[in-house]
Structure 1
Amino acid sequence: MISYRHHIVSLVAVFLALAAGIALGGGPLSDLGRDDQPASASTTPDRTVEQHASYGDEFATASAAALYAGGLKDQSVSIVTMPGADGATVNALGAQVEAAGGTVGGTYDVQRTLTDVSEKSLVDTLGSQLGTQLGSGAVSADASTYVRIGQLVGLAVARSELPSSDATSVRESLAGAELLTSPDGALRAPVVVLVLGRHTDPAILSGVVAGLAEKATGLVVAGTTASAAAAGDLGVLRGDAAADHAATVDGVETPLGQVTAVLAAIRSLTVQGGAFGAAGADGAVPLP
């Protein structure tokens, strides 16, 4: 008997193919059954491509709740945005977290000071000071500048054994140095979704991701379709060892990418890593 999961997998494969505009008409069977009648206005190539492109998003939006199956029930998610992350995308991700039964514990914005290579001395000094204040074991003694700051951001936003008073102190220190915003009433969460924005120096992004992954139960790094290109931030990160313990998702500017990111967040509660999306090496959608 074909299970419900196999039905879902088949449907996902179909809508992804349609979303990518893959049709027999463009392949080796394109001449079969073709007549000389001109295409009608309603089936022009541009219109067909447009319909294919929107179908995947429509399917994802309609099927999201069934795919989530309440996977984030009683769970919270922290959203961390890199400089230049699109606000509408961040809000849409938050809505999808709620559709999966979860809550957004807080949305934290990484400030340009943290990613500015000319401010490395500030980032290093503050990271060293906070590491000393928190005591042995809070951050790695031999961590590099940006891995350490990533660990500190993780302690500030991700649920851990660190006392809540210490986590609050870290958030306030990072906010005071204009490295990370600290929203009122924020709650630490087991899962962190890091939303990429404008280009970030690869070494800085790699360090922050590696540090965050060490402190969060699950980490999802979400980038746009363009960022997944070989020279894009997500594309470069996927070739870095720092991404081994973080799930990466491309196409997050689309509803399909947003649903995929939340499915990856659900998966990250028990399984870390994986590259998902149209350019993902581990499949289009992370299904249980």
Structure 2
Amino acid sequence: MIRSRGYAVPLVGVLLALATGIALGAGPLTDTGSSAAPGPAVHQPAPQAGYADAFAGAVATRLYGNGLSRRPVAVLTAPGADPATVAAVTAQVKAAGGQVSGTYALGSQLVDPQQKSLVDTLGAELGKQLHAHLDRSATTYPRIGELLAVAAANRGNSVGQVNDDVSAVRQSMVAAHLVTVPHDAQGNQPGTAPLVLLVLGHDLDQAIADGLVSGLAARSRGVVVIGDTAAPDLVGLRQDGVTKVAAAVDGAETTAGQVASVLALIRSWRTPGGSFGASGVTGAAPLG
């Protein structure tokens, strides 16, 4: 069971309150007794549409409090993830003091229901070969999610070494076009990271999304999944109980959502799960 924590007033509500002004000098207390007919009504411009994002961006670093210092993050991008969103949230991770260990692109075959046989066969074979024991009761997608975690994540406090298990999983999944593993100019691949940020793109089959995220959460210290406002996959993760082990944040297309996702990463170091963002039920952002 997730322990509840106190949260500040939801960020969106705070922003709306700040953005809403009360026009002084326009009410009955300003009556001067003049008999002149009132002039035409003056249209008050609406608050700037981008104020919430501007505010979130301005206060983000102070909210983070360097909360990701010395805490590596592996970024996973699902098919259709917006590169601009990925770049923006990566910048926010760095603003919180974090280090992106690597960005891994999930292949379309990994999340294609028509390729389930391939995913199942590869997962079963890799499970037999690894020194690390996977959950033997896991079905196709939770198992491949665990294997993704072996390739990119760890449950420790720092960057993990690329050992035989990590190399075997990476090589097999790359060969099957299930994931792309980053490397530097010399061909060196990154170590694994305790925290995982999964950026969604196209809507996934919900059973696949549930399985991948729950598998990632089983072998990492913390997982945060981010998608656009009211993304169906995030709603499904919450309804299916996956947000008990991994945090979901919607509003990825906004600065406010990106800031909330980094705050969720900070929280996930010690407390997993939660539903945050524009449609979050736990709160707009974990501020406590």
**Fold conserved between structures, TM > 0.5:** yes
The equivalent position to 1:206 in structure 2, one of 203, 210, 235, is 210
| 1:196 corresponds to 2:181 | no
In 2, Cα distance between equivalents of 1:225 and 1:126: 34
Matches within 5 A, 1:89-168: 89-135=85-131, 138-160=133-155, 164-165=162-163, 166-168=165-167
Name the structure 2 match of 1:178. Answer: 177
* Unmatched runs of 5 consecutive residues or more in structure 2: 1-5, 30-37, 184-188
Higher gyration radius (CA)? 2
In 2, Cα distance between equivalents of 1:70 and 1:155: 27
Name the structure 2 match of 1:218. Answer: 222
Identity %: 44
Name the structure 2 match of 1:3. Answer: none
- Deviation string 1:155-213 (CA, Å, 9 cap, x unpaired) is 11112478622212211211111001111132211100111110110111110011001
Q: Is the 8 A contact 1:213 1:245 kept in 2?
A: yes
Q: Is the 8 A contact 2:12 2:52 kept in 1?
A: no
- Deviation string 1:203-253 (CA, Å, 9 cap, x unpaired) is 1111001100101100001010141xxxx1111221112221111101011
Farther off after superposition, 10-19 or 274-283: 10-19
Q: C-alpha displacement at 1:13, in angstroms?
A: 5.8
Q: Is the 8 A contact 1:97 1:104 kept in 2?
A: yes
In 1, Cα distance between equivalents of 2:177 and 2:147: 14
* Unmatched runs of 5 consecutive residues or more in structure 1: 1-5, 26-31
In 1, Cα distance between equivalents of 2:277 and 2:21: 20
| 1:287 corresponds to 2:287 | yes
Name the structure 1 match of 2:246. Answer: 246
In 2, Cα distance between equivalents of 1:83 and 1:220: 17
- More contact order relative to length (CA 8 Å, sep ≥ 6): 2
Q: Is the 8 A contact 1:94 1:104 kept in 2?
A: yes
Name the structure 2 match of 1:70. Answer: 66
Judging changes above 3 Å, is the alpha-carbon distance between structure 1 residues 241 and 22 closer, same or farther for their aligned structure 2 residues? farther
Q: Is the 8 A contact 1:15 1:56 kept in 2?
A: no
Comparing both structures, which one devotes a greater share of its residues to helix?
Answer: 1
Q: Is the 8 A contact 1:250 1:257 kept in 2?
A: yes
Name the structure 1 match of 2:42. Answer: 39
Aligned-residue RMSD, C-alpha? 2.7
Q: C-alpha displacement at 1:33, in angstroms?
A: 6.3
| 1:82 corresponds to 2:85 | no
Q: Is the 8 A contact 1:18 1:56 kept in 2?
A: no
TM-score using structure 1 length: 0.84
Q: Is the 8 A contact 2:161 2:191 kept in 1?
A: no
- Deviation string 1:15-65 (CA, Å, 9 cap, x unpaired) is 43259x87889xxxxxx869874234xx34xxx15x1x3111111111111
In 2, Cα distance between equivalents of 1:131 and 1:116: 21
2:76 aligns to what SS in structure 1?
strand
